[in-house]
């Protein structure tokens, strides 16, 4: 029999709050985290808005000397991991360290370090490049630093699968525990890529919203007037644990993770597959992995980025996967409030999916004011909704046609 895997800890650093409690409260109040970019001068940029993390002090979590050696995405990962571990009550000791792993992904890593050190190289020469440049920037150092700080000696990994990275980290961690290679995984995603080069690059692709005159309403998934995503930053971390391990230590169990799917579109570097094959199959795989039927699912936390093609494609894929039941589902995009956290999106949205199960409340899709005839599902418009949630599906898709789906279930003692 497959080992059962449960969620025993949650941690968040987001544009709408720097804790689980604060971020969930913001979602329940429909509060947007989007505003004018404060990190650099955007006067010459076609896009001047983003969903930045606010009022975050890394020195609350990390000694100053150590913090200077790390990119901001690592700071966020450490802070969210600390919260998740506190929630879980897990103590990592010499006895259990080899059975505790870390798997924290990122789409880009520390773009700030790349830009800063490249400028030093060009203007001051190679001798001015920091010896901490590489370990502050590379994607796997979020997981690496959390492992070093906590003493977790189990599997230590990271993926860089663009905007599906956080979801892949959680799904892969689920399978690591299920097959017995660890008993506990600290997993999720972290990102901090609101930089001049990143914003310029995404803007050049015409992927970003240019609603500079109305930032709070710029991210509007599934709305007919959506014009692109709003880039965000932060981290979302879960503690996944083998059920009997959690029971033995008396852990609080928030939910159970029961299904995971991963597929490829094999279609285009940025555009969704016009047949929706990859996205349909990834949701079907998660359902099949869980051994459940489409009719059992009540809520989907959609990828829902607020791009014209992406939201339409995801809607069509949901209808292909769920048939007539698609019109009985509740589907919402929390990116309407947080913006799109790229490699961290799957992490924070998995946390939100678990919170929907815990509280039996659905976060809304805000800024939904102009229905799109091609996006005709129930997107929980503008207001949170109380609803019985037995299963919550969380979708994550990335450039290159990489897809992930996670299925969480309300935990029942048996």
Annotated active-site residue in 75, 87, 168, 303: 303
Q: What are 110's strand-pairing partners?
A: 192
In the structure, how many helices (H) and strands (E) does the chain have? Answer: 13, 14
Residue 1: per-residue pLDDT:
76
Annotated active-site residue in 87, 168, 340, 375: 340
325 is catalytic: no
Task: Return the H-helix or E-strand segment holding 398.
Answer: strand 391-398
- From residue 241, give the alpha-carbon distance in Å to each of 4, 92, 176, 234, 408: 8, 13, 10, 23, 14
Q: What are 372's strand-pairing partners?
A: 375
Residue 413: per-residue pLDDT:
82
163 is catalytic: yes
Is it true that 5-248 and 261-409 share their CATH fold? yes
Question: Could you give the CA distance from residue 163 to residue 214 in angstroms, rounded to a whole number?
Answer: 25
Residue 217: per-residue pLDDT:
98
Tokens of 179: 């097959």
What residues does each domain of the chain span?
5-248, 261-409
Query: Tokens 């990335």, residue?
Result: 398
Residue 40: per-residue pLDDT:
97
Query: 261-409 falls under which CATH superfamily?
Result: Thiolase/Chalcone synthase (3.40.47.10)
DSSP 119-176: HHHHHH-GGGS-TTHHHHHSTTHHHHHHHHHHT--S-EE----GGGHHHHHHHHHHHH
Q: What is the pLDDT along the chain (414 residues), one digit of tens a residue?
A: 789 999 999 999 999 999 999 999 999 999 999 999 999 999 999 999 999 999 999 999 999 999 999 999 999 999 999 999 999 999 999 999 999 999 999 999 999 999 999 999 999 999 999 999 999 999 999 999 999 999 999 999 999 999 999 999 999 999 999 999 999 999 999 999 999 999 999 999 999 999 999 999 999 999 999 999 999 999 999 999 999 999 999 999 999 999 999 999 999 999 999 999 999 999 999 999 999 999 999 999 999 999 999 999 999 999 999 999 999 999 999 999 999 999 999 999 999 999 999 999 999 999 999 999 999 999 999 999 999 999 999 999 999 999 999 999 999 987
For the domain made up of 5-248, the CATH class stated in words is: alpha beta
Q: Chain centroid to CA 342: how far? A: 7
Q: What is the pTM of this model?
A: 0.98
Quick one: three-class SS letters along 258-282? EEEEEEECCCCCCCCCCCCHHHHHH
Annotated active-site residue in 163, 168, 187, 375: 163
The alpha-carbon radius of gyration of the chain (Å, integer) is 20
């Amino acid at each position: 029999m497959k080992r059962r895997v449960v969620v025993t800890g949650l941690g968040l650093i987001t544009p709408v709050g720097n804790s689980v409690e604060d971020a969930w409260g913001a979602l329940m109040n429909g509060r947007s985290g989007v505003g004018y970019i404060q990190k650099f001068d955007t006067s010459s940029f076609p896009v001047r808005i983003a969903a930045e993390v606010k009022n975050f002090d890394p020195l609350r979590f990390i000694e100053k000397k150590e913090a200077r050696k790390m990119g901001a995405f690592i700071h966020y990962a450490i802070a969210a991991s600390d919260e998740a571990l506190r929630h879980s009550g897990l103590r990592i000791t010499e006895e259990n360290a080899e059975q505790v792993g870390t798997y924290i992904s990122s789409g880009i890593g520390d773009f700030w370090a790349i830009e800063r050190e490249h400028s030093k190289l060009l203007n001051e020469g190679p001798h001015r490049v920091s010896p901490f440049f590489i370990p502050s920037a590379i994607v796997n150092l979020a997981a690496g630093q959390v492992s070093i700080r906590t003493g977790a000696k189990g599997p230590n990994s990271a993926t860089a699968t663009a905007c599906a990275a956080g979801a892949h980290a959680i799904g892969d961690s689920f399978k690591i525990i299920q097959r017995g290679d660890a008993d506990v995984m600290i997993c999720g995603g972290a990102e901090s890529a609101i930089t001049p080069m990143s914003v310029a690059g995404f803007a050049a692709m015409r992927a970003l919203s240019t609603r500079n005159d109305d930032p709070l309403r710029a991210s509007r998934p599934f709305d007919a007037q959506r014009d692109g995503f709003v880039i965000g930053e932060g981290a979302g971390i879960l503690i996944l644990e083998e059920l009997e391990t959690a029971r033995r230590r008396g852990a609080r169990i928030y939910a159970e993770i029961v299904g995971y799917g991963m597929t490829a579109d094999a279609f285009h570097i940025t555009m969704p597959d016009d047949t929706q094959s990859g996205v349909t199959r990834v949701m079907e795989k998660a359902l099949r992995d869980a051994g459940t039927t489409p009719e059992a699912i009540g809520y989907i936390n959609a990828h829902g980025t607020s791009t014209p093609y992406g939201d339409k494609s995801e809607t069509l894929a949901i209808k292909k996967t769920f048939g007539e039941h698609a019109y009985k589902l509740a589907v919402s995009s929390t990116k309407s409030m947080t913006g799109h956290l790229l490699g961290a999106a799957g992490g924070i949205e998995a946390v939100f999916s678990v919170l929907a199960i815990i509280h039996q409340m659905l976060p809304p899709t805000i800024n939904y004011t102009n229905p799109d005839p091609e996006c005709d599902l129930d997107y929980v418009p503008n207001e949170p909704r109380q609803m019985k949630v037995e299963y919550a599906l969380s979708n994550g898709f990335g450039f290159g046609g990489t897809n992930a789906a996670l299925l969480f279930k309300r935990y029942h003692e048996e």
